[in-house]
Structure 1
């Protein structure tokens, strides 16, 4: 697999500048950033524009840019696999990634031809598998998707990874499904126009795009049976757990069983420790403000953030969490 990346990779920019104090006298009076930052443009790999990743990444980029007096932007991407590739190549400073995709990345399995040198910054919140159909659809069960036109997620997305694993656990022949490989925004538009029978999505709740869709086009979420969750865990990285969509979410009249997977913020192993500590300080300091627009941000918990196995915490993250215990 070819990894995306520009000619100036991030690790070269930050590691190369570590030997020189670029910021002496250049930072604003209110900035508390570490000396390893330079004046380059930094990127948060943040997913599709209609998902929680992009909303969270945009808010975090704005907060860090102001606090650290650096230029940090949220980049629209295909999702977890794409984000991990960007972080691993140095194109992005940090990125959001599902725990299962991150486990594959460090092991060099699944969508990754070889292990990526990525490490975790924090466990942020859990994401939920959505299998969305129109409310008036005749599709009642995951097994009814065979022979239908269903988006299993964009190429290089964590959605695509989970969709394949769950369908396999449910004994649905994936080859029988016509998959246009749409991102969330494209999937929403296609379902609205009855161009597809349904779509898969994995994200925090509520996912803004799906919440907006439910306001104009009544939808249903298909159940994910616990036996399927158990099968997926047994076959892969044991990263999943049974969960439920609550009543009222997307107009649901009753809870709907699904499965959840943790979401991590990841960075390159080459990122300087001080930079990671700066990011974490900003992440926790701004979580209340970010949560006003991105409810999932309120779920960030310092006691739970360290549980990122099998992805190792970055040494800078370890230092940060230890310092908070003092």
Structure 2
């Protein structure tokens, strides 16, 4: 009887060991075809990236960043299994502050704003954001010097002494205006500077209270289209040598062309520059996570439900970057043979 009990006990131990082996070891080290190592969860087959939730700071609900952010959140969640969502904000500058405070993991911004933040200059003077890295640039935010044929302004030099909106105080547009004027040996003191919003700028041009305006936005820009409906709009071109000098000194700019017909009265291609809308991430996100996020976005641009999706291309994703790229994103673009142009 005693021997029978021992056999029964041993059998129970063996069965328990088999059960634990089958149910245990829920995490295992894995390596996918791209060489990304991580901890794979046996329950869902997804790697453990060290975070369970991911937020993307965008802009207002009526802008471009917010709907794009929703698309990107879905792509990232599908690829990584991390619950991801797009959150509204006041866009570029505020988003950099949210990254600094680690309130979001990913954010939309502009290449110039990202550079100011990482350097602690311009509107970030004394408030350097040192935990931000680039993921990729998306599409151009074009610098447009807008006027009308009746103003007689045909070149940047012609702005001297004229009433010109240089963007709202502390804005990226204001910095764009200062830097472009600098290339022509001018400052904002050489014009009668006004700090106006885009809508107020085009209204001012229409009613004659200002002569021209710097506007940094994706084209066609609604405020400029509205002006073009009643006025013979002129977009002032930048000279090729000035463009090269600008990009050489401020590498977050990229060459851009406003095509014929963008606005009703624009009969020729206009050479100018653009800063880029871009995605940035916290620097301490793992390389694996940022690699997989980058791959998810740039290999699914056909699924983006916004017109700007057509402009988001892997081959352009380093143009005008301006700040240090995250190693995970760099790995992806290196594999694709992508470099800044």
Q: What is the TM-score when the length of structure 2 is the normalising length?
A: 0.68
> What is the root-mean-square deviation in Å for CA atoms of aligned residues?
3.8
Distance 1:33 1:123, change over 3 A: farther
Matching of residue 260 in structure 1 with residue 268 in structure 2 = no
Query: 1:218: Cα distance to partner?
Result: 3.6
Matching of residue 122 in structure 1 with residue 125 in structure 2 = no
Q: Out of 53, 62, 66, which is 2:70 matched to?
A: 62
Matching of residue 174 in structure 1 with residue 188 in structure 2 = yes
Partner of 1:36: 51
Deviations 1:116-165 (A, max 9, x none): 22110112234432001134323332223233332212334322222101
Return 5+ residue gaps in structure 2 as ranges: 1-42, 78-82
Deviations 1:62-105 (A, max 9, x none): 2245553543124333x4x4543443343554334443443343
Q: Out of 107, 127, 132, which is 1:95 matched to?
A: 107
Q: Out of 198, 205, 215, which is 1:191 matched to?
A: 205
Contact kept in structure 2, 1:151 and 1:198, CA below 8 Å: yes
Contact kept in structure 1, 2:58 and 2:66, CA below 8 Å: no
Contact kept in structure 2, 1:152 and 1:182, CA below 8 Å: yes
Q: Secondary structure at the match of 1:249?
A: coil
For residues 186 and 37 of structure 1, the distance between their equivalents in structure 2, rounded to whole angstroms, comes to 44
Query: 1:312: Cα distance to partner?
Result: 1.9
Partner of 2:9: none
Partner of 1:237: 250
- Superposed, 1:155-170 pairs within 5 Å as 155-170=169-184
Distance 1:228 1:216, change over 3 A: same
Contact kept in structure 2, 1:47 and 1:83, CA below 8 Å: no
Contact kept in structure 2, 1:119 and 1:268, CA below 8 Å: yes
Distance 1:256 1:302, change over 3 A: closer
Partner of 2:11: none
Q: What is the TM-score when the length of structure 1 is the normalising length?
A: 0.71
Q: Which stretches of structure 1, 4 residues or more, deviate above 6 A after TM superposition?
A: 322-325
Query: 1:273: Cα distance to partner?
Result: 4.7
For residues 286 and 74 of structure 1, the distance between their equivalents in structure 2, rounded to whole angstroms, comes to 23
Structure scoring higher RCO (CA < 8 A, sep ≥ 6) equals: 1
Report which of the two structures shows the higher radius of gyration computed on alpha carbons.
2
For residues 231 and 320 of structure 1, the distance between their equivalents in structure 2, rounded to whole angstroms, comes to 30
Equivalences, count: 289
Matching of residue 293 in structure 1 with residue 306 in structure 2 = yes
Partner of 1:246: 259
